[in-house]
Amino acid sequence: MNARASRIVVGLSGGVDSAVAALRLIERDHEVHGLFMANWEDDDGYCTAAQDFQDARAVASVLGIPLHRVDFSREYRDRVFAHFLAEYAAGRTPNPDVLCNREIKFGVCLEHVRRLGAVRFATGHHAQLRVGDDAELHKGADPARDQSYFLHSIGRETLPCIDFPIGDLLKDDVRARARAAGLPVHDKPDSTGICFIGERPFREFLKRYIADAPGPIETAEGERLGVHHGLAFYTLGQRGGLEIGGRAGHAEGAWYVARKDRVRNSLIVVQGHDHPLLLSRALLTGPMHWLVPAPVAPFQAMAKVRYRQADQAVIVTPLADGRARLEFDLDQRAVTPGQYAVLYQGTRCLGGGIIETTSG
């Protein structure tokens, strides 16, 4: 096997998952290069890119592999962050990690990897690929860490060009292998927060880009309870941050965001975790992205309407315009427009689409 065919570039994030991904590829006798992406330039104490790069350098040094650094911050802002802000401004709740995987990690970054002389790009995602006559995306072996939900929108033609070397491992096994190999990130906490941006006070961060647009907080019957800061700053099912408090004539108990009335700029709230306004039995997606040949007839599948949700039984009806209608066996709580409905059969990810609307 020549060097070019065996060279694999690993996205080294500075975390334990990508470190062990690189380790496993070395153990398989590949020529491994590391690649660190720094795609958010704010130095405000929340973005951890500087420390993550130092951790990636330390891992590369222990493994004896070269480390490249690349900056796709402009592409990230144009292709991911601009959409993120537009969705919030429209009152929806986007998931930028899905778009980041499609546009950055397995989009422009994969193109850069090819310029480095490699034909495949590996990451530390907890997911699995099965490549035969057709490449298939499957859930990771660790059900608590599976990231196939975030990967469902990458190009079907891209699957044979990528690798998830730790997808068959449990997280505890990943850390154990890192510790045994002397990798300095074996006990580093998992990263959280928005892809590349990090964990931070979210409302304050969003207010840097979206102005307050106050309006009434109302019950479903139209009773005014307070004032919200702007529909962009709330999500369906949200409990905290409403600043309502106890109200005469109402039972004690938490209030939940149930609807956003964009025409009236009104936030509709209800009491009760499973209030009927928080429940829906069906949804309509935007254009579906399929990782299988696009189906034309209704079929049974399992679905997630948010990350970490247990699989839900559903009837999927593909529509002529490329969208799909999903009808669930059981009521779904706080299904949120802007998030993704992702479909599965067994462990195989079939694809998904953005949630547009819901119905009872």
Residues 77-113: tens digit of each pLDDT: 999 999 999 999 998 999 999 999 999 999 999 999 9
Position 3 scores a pLDDT of 43
Identify the active-site residue in 47, 109, 161, 195.
Answer: 195
Helix or strand run (H / E) with residue 37: strand 31-37
**pLDDT tens-digit map of 196-241:** 555 657 788 888 899 999 999 999 999 999 999 999 999 999 998 8
**100 included as an active-site residue:** yes
DSSP H or E run through 115:
helix 109-115
Q: What is the pLDDT of residue 199?
A: 60
How many whole angstroms separate alpha carbon 110 and alpha carbon 122?
A: 10
| Fold of the 219-273 domain | SH3 type barrels. (2.30.30)
Which residues make up the CATH 3.40.50.620 domain(s) of the chain? 3-180
Q: For residues 245 and 33, what is the distance between their CA atoms, to the nearest angstrom?
A: 55
User: How sure is the predictor about 50, in pLDDT bands with cuts at 50, 70 and 90?
Assistant: confident
Domain 3-180 has CATH 3.40.50.620: yes
Question: Is 195 marked active-site?
Answer: yes
Active-site pick, 47, 100, 109, 349: 100
**Chain region(s) in the chain for CATH 2.40.30.10:** 279-359
**Model-wide pTM > 0.85:** yes
At 70, list the tokens: 């690349």
Could you tell me which residue, 191 or 84, shows the higher pLDDT? 84
CATH code of 279-359, in short, is 2.40.30.10
Per-residue pLDDT at 2: 44
Q: What is the pLDDT of residue 204?
A: 83
Cα separation of the two ends of the chain: 57
- Position 197 scores a pLDDT of 58
Q: Are 53 and 68 in contact (CB under 8 A)?
A: no
CA gap 35, 33 in Å, rounded: 7
316, two tokens: 């999927």
Pinpoint the residues of the chain covered by CATH 2.30.30.
Answer: 219-273
